[in-house]
Amino acid sequence: MEDKAIFIGGIHGVGKTTLCKKLKKKLDICHHSASSLIKTLKNDDEDNFNKQVKNIDGNQKLLITAISKYVDRSTRYLLDGHFCLLDTNNIINKVPIVTFKDISPIGIVLLHDSIENIQNKIKGRDGKRYKSNLLLQFQDSEIMYSKEVADELKIPYIQFNVLDDIALIIDFVENITGR
């Protein structure tokens, strides 16, 4: 089976879901959230409010299982998720490369924004305020590792600022999916 995932990555609060909703409308494409897929198979008390993950490797295995169970991988789709995650000590951890190999995306879009905007979105959505330096390190790690993943998988990659014209991503997706 030929995989057709376009992975939309970025840190919490950057606007992945908002972007995916816009792309879904404009491209007539399915959208799945990695966290939602994991939650369909998960059964514990993980602190989702604080965005901390107790068992990063275990969560990624659940994600791969959920994708194989609930996602039609024969049609193109957007999968929003992360390249890095915070553990319970607020330490930034890379998602294992094997996860991305198993997802087998055909392209990567890395979404980024100013730290101030991200802080404001998280505060408005979750009522939580993260320190600027943590968010900056988190976003820098996400950007660097996303490039490494794209290089390792030898797939197209684009960085997208939320203030950029969405037409850039539409062209990117259409070029790599042949539409």
For residues 97-119, give the mean pLDDT.
96
Dig out the tokens for 159 from the structure: 């960085």
Q: Is the pLDDT of residue 32 over 60?
A: yes
Q: Is the pLDDT of residue 144 over 80?
A: yes
pTM (2 d.p.):
0.91
* Amino acid present at 130: Y
Please name which of 121, 149, 102 lies closest in space to residue 11, comparing C-alpha atoms: 121
- Which band of pLDDT confidence, cut at 50, 70 and 90, is reported for residue 52? confident
Of these ranges, 45-59, 95-109, 124-138, the one predicted with the greatest mean pLDDT is 95-109
Q: What pLDDT sits at residue 51?
A: 65
